[in-house]
Amino acid sequence: MLVTLCVLLVAGIVYYIAIGYIANNQLDTSLTDEIEEVTAYVNLNQRLPRPIDFDEDQTSFIKTGQKTIPRIFFDTLYHNPREKNTEAGRAVEGLITLKGENYKVIVTESKEATEYLTQLITGITLALTALLLGILTITNRYILGGLWKPFYHNLQQLKAFNIAGADSLDLKETNIDEFEELNSAMLTMSSRVKNEYQNLKTFTENASHEMMTPIAVITSKLDTLIQDETLRPEQYAQINDIYTATNKLARLNQSLLLLVKIENDLVQDNYVLSLKEIIEEKLHQFHELIQSKHIGVIYTLADKEITASKYLVDILINNLFSNAIKHNNVYGTIRISLSGNILVFQNTGDEGPLNGGEIFERFKKSKTSEGTGLGLTIVKNICSQYNFKLSYYFEDPLHTFQIEF
């Protein structure tokens, strides 16, 4: 419609100019005939004609000493004697000779008729343009709008498609070949994606389960072996290293499985939760670990309720506490603030800021860290799950993690 409007506008201007040009050419042809009639009359009668001799054309004669005057056409004013008003006119100027004297003759005709014709044609053109645009509007709004309804319905279905859900795409049938082909491709794609997702999900769950069984056996045997009093110190140290690595492998397995669940929206047990109560509970749970590093905790907690999975929020707060404690200094500080829609965890630690673009990526950790490198990644994914805004910045000497709910 926009292109049509622009084309009609440009075409209308060109059309109007063309009509004016044609009308002026017709007037010029008529004026040429009139001035030739005046010349013929003077040659025949050897006198200048009276004003009433040539209908409503206004003819004037001006004696001149010029021997040649080129014939020119120009716009001027026409004084209408009957209407007693002045209107637009067209005139021609030429030269005639009478009894050895030269006269400049000017013949003027009214342009009222041609202008009226131009206005009439322009009005008809504008009316047709408006009618065409009206028809286009109705066609787009009702006819084409109806034709596109199945497409937009199917588009909404595609946007709402959940790879982990049981429902398949509910697409509307249509008589349009292109839409039917698109529907067929979408159904094939969704079916293939669901099958591949289910296969991957089953593999992940089975792999995780199968890994936990030997890990549990190894841990159990190590628990028994490490209690053997006949072990030499170097053997005890080696077994302890194996025990630590096994525990780390178990945590890594659980963390990766949790990430898969979060990324595929498999945890949906949402409830209204009190953040203040959860943080106070975590303060109690981490009390001994905090005391072991002689860390001072300063906190101000206001009441704040959110709707989310208790399981995921518990992991979120747990990882923030664990990160603040692990990467803190002995006799360091932890500051926790909950006010309005903002939760802030601050802790002392390494001097200088961390790389804000990397700390939330998988397996990004400091060289001295003994963690899995997935703690902050899990925090980020949980925040993304509920559209919480997570950010990191450094306020010397405090590393700050902020969540805006």
How do the domains of the chain map onto residue ranges? 2-118, 177-263, 270-404
188: its two tokens: 């094939």
* pLDDT score at 55: 53
| Burial of 377 per CB tally in 10 Å (0-12, 13-18, 19+) | buried
147: its two tokens: 């034709």
Pairing relationship of beta strands 85-98 and 101-110 according to DSSP bridges = antiparallel
- DSSP state, 405? -
CATH T-level fold of 270-404: Heat Shock Protein 90 (3.30.565)
Please say if the pLDDT value at position 364 is more than 70: no
How sure is the predictor about 56, in pLDDT bands with cuts at 50, 70 and 90? low
pLDDT tens-place string over residues 59-71: 888 888 888 888 8
- Residue 177: closest CA among 147, 213, 132, 218: 147
Please say if the pLDDT value at position 82 is more than 80: no
Polymer length in residues for the chain: 405
* pLDDT score at 68: 82
Instruction: Measure the CA–CA gap between 299 and 314, rounded to whole angstroms.
Output: 18
- What's the Cα-to-Cα distance from 353 to each of 41, 279, 394, rounded to whole Å? 105, 26, 5
Instruction: Measure the CA–CA gap between 101 and 243, rounded to whole angstroms.
Output: 131
The answer to whether the beta carbons of residues 219 and 213 sit under 8 Å apart is: no
Over pLDDT 70: what percentage of the chain? 92
Report helix, strand and coil shares of the chain as percent, to nearest 5: 55, 20, 25
Over pLDDT 90: what percentage of the chain? 18
DSSP characters for 231-290? --HHHHHHHHHHHHHHHHHHHHHHHHHHHHHHHTT----EEEEEHHHHHHHHHHHTHHHH
DSSP characters for 132-165? HHHHHHHIIIIIIHHHHHHHHHHHHHHHT--TTS
Provide the mean pLDDT of the chain: 83
**Cβ neighbours of residue 362 closer than 8 Å, sequence gap 6 or more:** 259, 373, 374, 377
* pLDDT score at 19: 84
- What's the Cα-to-Cα distance from 37 to each of 48, 112, 338, rounded to whole Å? 12, 22, 102
Least confident segment among 187-196, 363-372, 382-391: 363-372
Least confident segment among 66-75, 119-128, 317-326, 349-358: 349-358
